[in-house]
Structure 1
């Protein structure tokens, strides 16, 4: 198994690099979802802040509407335009626009390119091993620490299913 390419030199130092050295990764799901991205931060050796340069083609949506409880995301539009759905609000973003999705802001966000040209933007964020992501449209809850997803409708009360009767008591006759 080969190592992912990075900007690390022979001495183990991560050096500056041109973004063209970072390989593109393609994501697609059906006709609706899909984008290309270059994960700049991992190429540069980052372990705490994530930075990706993404390209969203016309007619595509980047991700399902979602929000994070512990991770924060920032988006800066470099070129082109896209539509941001932020809860019930809709915003048209173009070159020079910036938006932050603070951790714990319980409003789903989704980016859709409804223009006729690709939109290129930077995404910044802090990865958190214990993050929980909520997907309002589907009720999905992703628990990163466990690598699993659940239905929000599957909520149970703390004591549900627990026998709260008398536990075996120590023998009082001894």
Structure 2
């Protein structure tokens, strides 16, 4: 198996230089016919490790992600071209070119985008890359713990002492 290194803007001296967004390759992903987009991972190409910035393009009829919110990580989005629907908590909003939205850490309102239009919508998504983040998915009940790389069912909550032997050992 060949480990193919992703291209970056690093020069021969190890310095990450300015680059054209057009030099960053598009990456496509999808989960069946409902979810998927293509993106250019700009911050990774430029060598960043603390803040993530990606240019995403959401095709007509597609959703960007499962509706979710972050406990420790903040996200922000700038709509560059087109329009789409933002689902934020129980409300929906039309967002279009020039609109900006913040998703503060700990705001317990799930967010996701859906392209209701007949043209692609392009946007920047900006976020911290907090290795300790906990992500909650209100529609599915999933809770993801980034530190452990594991996911849990939110309905399977436990009392603090549940499962512990609370009797003195003799």
- TM normalised by structure 2 equals 0.97
Aligned to 1:42: 44
1:53 corresponds to which of 49, 52, 55: 55
Residue 114 in 1 paired to residue 123 in 2?
no
Aligned to 2:29: 27
1:134 corresponds to which of 130, 133, 136: 136
1:154 alignment partner, SS class: coil
User: 2: distance between equivalents of 1:3 and 1:120?
Assistant: 26
Aligned to 1:65: 67
Q: Where has structure 1 moved over 3 Å in runs of 4 or more?
A: none
| Structural RMSD (CA) | 0.7
- TM normalised by structure 1 equals 0.95
Highest CA radius of gyration, 1 or 2?
1
1:104 corresponds to which of 103, 106, 109: 106
TM-superposed CA distance for 1:2, in Å, is: 2.8
Deviation by residue 1:56-79 (Cα, 9 ceiling, x = unmatched): 000000001000001110000000
TM-superposed CA distance for 1:167, in Å, is: 2.1
2:22 alignment partner, SS class: helix
User: 2: distance between equivalents of 1:167 and 1:131?
Assistant: 37
TM-superposed CA distance for 1:113, in Å, is: 0.2
1:41 alignment partner, SS class: helix
Structure 1 unaligned blocks of 5 or more: 169-174
Deviation by residue 1:132-165 (Cα, 9 ceiling, x = unmatched): 0000001000000000100001110110111111
Aligned to 2:9: 7
Aligned to 1:154: 156
Aligned to 2:78: 76
